[in-house]
A and B are shown apart, each in its own frame.
Chain A
């Protein structure tokens, strides 16, 4: 591990922010304070942060219905994210998007998507734009194992491969699509194997190990920037929380979840490695955690106080040029 301490702090800050943000959101939702649905990313932090640590604000990502982690990993701010989830005027989308539709175009985060598989081709298109402009930008598409069975997966990845677009398809195989286990809807063990069908590399990585993700993503991103086209990365992980907050989880046992949490929590993995290698101390991690927790608390306080959108907002931003 040859990362400097500052970079490691950055990684941990983003991962712990996601964890704390998510846990807080779960709490608030169960407390009846949040409208809509929320899908938590807890336990998958190493994937978003590991991938996005290789990107700049000029690069693009598209996200899923489980998008908070992708937003934070790409550099979106906690406060407008929280406000958005509350449906407040000060949210990223002025309260019109909510949890499943947070976007921050200023950092290349092209939006979460309420449609499973809705993000593939938006990423492909962003990559097409980058290729046409020869800008060196790349686009990353995050998607679930369930989403990989949408037809649009095939269309997007095939077109991107045929055109050698700078796009990286990052599958987060958390073993579950709502209540359906991966193996009951797929005849192959690894989604990465599908890459063969498109003539691109398919790589499997331990999605609970941020250092493995960092490296794998870097190779794919370098390849894309060099003009060699897409890579399909399958990050193996596990969905620790229910599909959505409030999910009764009748389809699996608590023991199964606990086992994963005990053995494979990406945050514990990270701490273990960096402390073991004497790169950071527990006290460093605690300090970062404290900072992140304060930020989340502050965001909640502000979001609670923030006004809802004005009624005049209803018709705003539908069209650029007005329509009566």
Chain B
């Protein structure tokens, strides 16, 4: 299979969907002239025109609000947030409007908007350009949240998100954009809401997503060297979470770890741990382990920043302890 980068994969998804459906368009800050900060929109204006690839003012409430309004009027907008951190500027549009409109109006309309939100730690971007805020949106009924970890899923999930009649938040890790991987040719779709068993194993289930999936896979290699076979699940979607996949796996391994880059407090791991404890505690032989960032903003100094990053060693050591 051919290897392309994560950003090229999302670009292919955009181009294919814009080709397929004239209602699809994309808008955001500096996406047309610049091609997006990560090259994820390069060439789209040349191909589809600046009427469908729009450089917006720096007006997050207007961009997202207009995306929702255009969706209500029959279009299928993709909205680029520049950095996921800036969703905070337009929380009304996301939480009160985009998420609620269909339900509140008794199903009279659909809200097929995709918000693309580059998140996660890149080198010394500091507290306002490095956050992973995905868990906030699990708490808001009406949204779907996807978190691809590799180019194939990036393409397949973006295409699925654009075709979804529901609003989707698409968190793409900034550090993943240049990473390469195999991507199937043709109309490659990944269903929203389905996790992926990336590596089968019998001793411990490690659930992760996005960038951290790679740390977990490194850890799984190390663990194998020590005789521990980890089953690694890439969630791919965190709203809704594929609990069936998690339950099936812990029925086999009887141990569960969740690993994410976002702060541990109130994170996706907290939700998974709580649900498993409520519904399937009897499948477990040991307490659930959560690995997430400490409860601080992301510091600037490389020296401090590395303290909030999760490494493969963190995962490996925790897994060894859990399996003892």
Q: Do A and B come from one complex?
A: yes
Q: A-side interface residues toward B, CB under 8 Å?
A: 60, 62, 91-97, 101, 103-106, 110-111, 113-115, 118, 120-130, 132-133, 137, 139, 151-152, 154-156, 158-159, 162-163, 316-321, 323-324
Residues from chain B with a CB closer than 8 A to the CB of A125 are 65-73, 77
Closest to B102 in A: A317
Which chain B residues have a beta carbon within 8 Å of chain A's beta carbons?
Answer: 25, 51-52, 54, 56-57, 59-75, 77, 92-93, 96-97, 101-110, 141-142, 144, 164-166, 192-193, 239-240
In the A-B complex, list the 7 residue pairs whose CB atoms are closest, starting with the nearest. Answer: A125-B69, A121-B65, A317-B107, A125-B66, A93-B106, A155-B59, A129-B73
Cross-chain contact B52 with A121 (CB below 8 angstroms): no
Q: How far, in angstroms, from A19 to B75 measured CA to CA in the complex? A: 36
Nearest Cβ distance between residue B21 and chain A, in whole angstroms? 13
Query: Is the pair A121, B105 in contact by a Cβ cutoff of 8 Å?
Result: no
Q: Is the CB of A115 within 8 A of B108?
A: no
List of B residues within 8 angstroms of A152 by Cβ: 61-62, 65, 92
Complex alpha-carbon distance, A139 and B73, angstroms: 10
Residue of B57, B61, B69, B106 near A129 (CB, 8 A) is B69
- A111: nearest residue on chain B (CB-CB)? B105
| With A124-B65, A152-B61, A324-B240 as contacts: A159 and B105 at CB distance below 8 Å | no
In the complex, chain B residues whose CB is within 8 Å of the CB of A316: 107
Separation in Å of the B267 CB from the closest CB of chain A? 20
Closest partner residue, chain B, to A108 (CB atom): B73
When the two chains form the complex, which single residue of B61, B92, B164 contacts A321, counting CB atoms closer than 8 Å?
A: B164
A118-B97, A129-B69, A316-B107 known; A158-B57 Cβ under 8 A:
yes
- Evaluate whether A126 and B73 lie within 8 angstroms (CB atoms) in the complex, with A121-B61, A318-B102 already known: yes
* Chain A contacts for B73, CB-based, 8 A: 60, 110, 125-126, 129-130, 137, 139
Residue of A nearest to B242 (CB): A324
Q: A91-B106, A111-B105, A158-B62 are in contact. Are A132 and B75 (CB under 8 A)?
A: yes
Given A93-B105, A97-B106, A126-B72, the answer on whether A162 and B57 have CB atoms closer than 8 Å is yes
Q: Is the pair B69, A126 in contact by a Cβ cutoff of 8 Å?
A: yes
B142 in contact with A319 (CB, 8 Å): yes
Q: When the two chains form their complex, are residues A129 and B75 in contact, meaning their CB atoms are under 8 A apart?
A: yes
Whether A110 lies near B165 (C-beta < 8 A) is no
With A105-B108, A122-B97: A317-B74 Cβ-Cβ less than 8 Å: no
Residue pair B110, A320 in contact (C-beta under 8 Å): yes
Please tell me if the beta carbons of B75 and A156 are within 8 angstroms of each other in the complex: no
User: If A126-B70, A155-B61, A159-B57 touch, does A317 touch B103 (CB 8 Å cutoff)?
Assistant: yes
Asked whether, in the complex, the Cβ of A110 is within 8 Å of the Cβ of B72, the reply is yes
Q: Look across to chain A and name the residue whose beta carbon is closest to the beta carbon of B64.
A: A121
Q: Across the interface, which residues of A come within 8 angstroms of B106, CB to CB?
A: 91-97, 317
Contact assessment for B56 and A318 in the assembled complex, using a CB-CB cutoff below 8 Å:
no
Q: Chain B residues with Cβ under 8 A from A137's Cβ?
A: 73
Q: Is the CB of A94 within 8 A of B240?
A: no
In the bound assembly, the distance between CA atoms of A37 and B61 in angstroms comes to 27
In the complex, A121→B165 CA distance in Å? 20
Q: Which residues of B contact A163 (CB under 8 A)?
A: 54
- Between-chain CB contacts (< 8 Å), 11 pairs: A94-B107, A125-B65, A125-B66, A125-B72, A126-B69, A132-B75, A152-B62, A152-B92, A156-B65, A316-B107, A324-B240
Q: Which of A93, A101, A321 contacts B165 (CB 8 A)?
A: A321
CA distance A60 to B144 in the complex (A): 27
Chain B CB within 10 Å — which of A92, A114, A129 has the most? Answer: A129
B104 near A96: Cβ-Cβ < 8 Å: yes
Verify B25–A159 contact, CB threshold 8 A. Answer: no
A124 touches B61 (CB 8 A): no
Cα–Cα distance between A101 and B165 once the two chains are bound (Å)? 21
Which partner residue on chain A sits nearest B101 by CB separation? A111
Inter-chain contact B96/A132, CB cutoff 8 Å: no
A125-B92 Cα distance, complex, nearest whole Å: 15
Contacts of A159 in B (CB 8 A): 56-57, 59, 62-63, 66
Whether A93 lies near B62 (C-beta < 8 A) is no
**Set of chain A residues within 8 Å of B240, measured between Cβ atoms:** 323-324
In the complex the two chains form, what is the Cα distance from A147 to B202 in whole Å?
59
CA gap between A207 and B63 in the complex, in Å: 31
- CB B166 to nearest CB in A, in angstroms, measures 5
Contacts of A162 in B (CB 8 A): 57
Residue among A96, A115, A122, A319 making CB contact with B69, cutoff 8 Å: A122
Per the bound structure, the CA–CA distance linking A92 and B108 in Å amounts to 8
Specify which chain B residues have a CB less than 8 angstroms from the CB of A130 in the assembled complex. Answer: 73
Docked Cα-Cα span, A92 to B165, in Å, equals 21
Q: Are B142 and A318 in contact (CB under 8 A)?
A: yes
Say whether, besides A105-B109, A155-B61, A162-B57, A318 and B141 are in contact (CB < 8 Å): yes
Shortest distance between the CB of B23 and any CB in chain A (Å): 9
Choose among A113, A154, A318 the residue that contacts B103 (Cβ–Cβ < 8 A). A318
CA distance A114 to B104 in the complex (A): 11
Q: How far is the CA of A225 from the CA of B188 in the complex (A)?
A: 40
Given A125-B66, A321-B165, 8 other A-B residues pairs in contact with their CB atoms under 8 A = A62-B69, A113-B97, A121-B64, A125-B72, A133-B75, A139-B73, A158-B57, A318-B142
